[in-house]
Amino acid sequence: MADMKLNVSDVKSGKTKQIVLTADQSKAMIGKKIGEKFKGELLDLTGYELEITGGSDASGFPMRKDNPGVARKKILVVSGVGAKPQRRGQRQRKNVAGNTVYEKTAQINTKIVKAGKTDIFAEPVAEEAPAEEAKTE
């Protein structure tokens, strides 16, 4: 199974944190769909509740909410995820991934619905190394 990454976004502060999931955590995420809410205890984020907002598969194709299942499909898009129209009203045929997380999903985007007590965006305090003494010759 490929490495799965989870982007956790805080809508209020505008901060985002990327977490690399372990194999057990990745297995817990398989089968969840865009728009589904889950508890942060699955990912060792006690007290948090997260909602899946999107993602992409291993080839970089974006997950789209209106594409059911895990299959990649070539759909006709006018706007939204996967579309970059060059002119007004332009329609394009684009490959997009399904709305369900599966083994080949590389990235999952989530937002915080309910925050926990600990701040996951706090910078870890780095210990200062002792300053090297100047060498005299």
pLDDT band at 128 (very low <50, low <70, confident <90, very high): low
CA gap 94, 37 in Å, rounded:
28
Q: Which residues contact 51 (CB under 8 A, 6 or more apart)?
A: 35, 36, 37, 110, 111, 113
Instruction: With beta carbons less than 8 A apart as the criterion, state whether 108 and 19 touch.
Output: no
Predicted pLDDT at 83: 86
Whether residue 126 is predicted with pLDDT greater than 90 in this model: the reply is no
> 87-96, pLDDT tens digit by residue?
998 999 999 9
Place of tokens 């309910």: 114
Q: What is the pTM of this model?
A: 0.81
CA gap 105, 60 in Å, rounded:
9
pLDDT band at 3 (very low <50, low <70, confident <90, very high): confident
Q: Which residues contact 33 (CB under 8 A, 6 or more apart)?
A: 52, 99, 100, 101
Residues of the chain above pLDDT 90, percent = 61
Residue 67 buriedness (CB in 10 A; 0-12 / 13-18 / 19+)? buried
CA gap 86, 92 in Å, rounded:
10
> 22-57, pLDDT tens digit by residue?
999 999 999 999 999 999 998 888 899 999 999 999
Predicted pLDDT at 43: 87
> 48-67, pLDDT tens digit by residue?
999 999 999 999 999 999 99
> 72-122, pLDDT tens digit by residue?
999 999 888 888 889 998 999 999 999 999 999 999 999 999 988 888 887
Compute φ and ψ for 109, nearest 5 degrees: -100, 130
Domain regions of the chain by residue span: 5-63+100-114
**Structure tokens, 16:** 């985002």
